[in-house]
Amino acid sequence: MATQELRKRANWQTISGAKALGTEKLFQKSLQTALDSVYPGQFVVDRHPKEFGDIYSTYDLPEELCNKIYNINVTAKKANGKPKYKWGISMDFAIRNITNGKVLFGEIKRQDGWVETTNMQAGRGNAHERSCKYFTPGLMKVIRETGGLSDEILPFWLVIVGDITRDPRRNREIAFWFQNYTKNYYMWRDTDDVGDMLDFFENNLLSYLL
């Protein structure tokens, strides 16, 4: 597929009408519209996928550790039969190829930043640091197994928005974290520029879903 095919063949009238939406909805609608234009019926872009909603509550601890903590019966049920205890993680999106089962999960993180009109303290938020949990061995393993993607990339995509995308301090931190995996994070500096986001996805990640 030629580069920028998603941008060229997407229904831009539909996408332009979505720009009044919040960033997450704009991301989903834009990407879904573009993928449908090139791969009709092949991809689904979900918001808040459910696969990992109980990965912590269903994780078995060693008995000797359970004896040292306030322990509960994690298999307990409510009156309606649903689990009484359920906790895990909720990622922001999943891009699914429904023909081969491959999935790219991801997060959209918004944060203030240090730019020309602010000072260094403006970038003191930690949304970007919270995304580092995806580098942990346990989450890396379960997300990779579920997504079924190549080991050449990380099993998740971090999309970053807000002034942090121009912050000289935070850009260096994030680039340091993602060394050799630059395909796995994207600085969406202008969220009105949907085409740039589509180009990044197509040029860096789409092939791993095909």
Average pLDDT over residues 69-90: 95
Q: Determine if residue 95 is left, alpha or beta; phi over 0 gives left, psi from -120 to 50 gives alpha, anything else beta.
A: beta
> Please, what is the average pLDDT of the chain?
93
Residue 23 has pLDDT above 90, yes or no: yes
Is the model more confident about 83 or about 125? 83
Domain ranges of the chain: 5-52+90-209, 53-88
Average pLDDT over residues 12-23: 72
Where residue 151 falls among pLDDT bands split at 50, 70, 90?
very high
Question: What's the rounded Cα separation, in Å, for the pair 33 and 16?
Answer: 11
List 94's β-bridge partners, or say none. Answer: 46, 105
CB atoms within 10 A of CB 184: 19
CB atoms within 10 A of CB 83: 15
Where residue 4 falls among pLDDT bands split at 50, 70, 90?
confident
CATH architecture type of domain 5-52+90-209 = 3-Layer(aba) Sandwich (3.40)
Residue 205 has pLDDT above 80, yes or no: yes
Average pLDDT over residues 62-67: 96
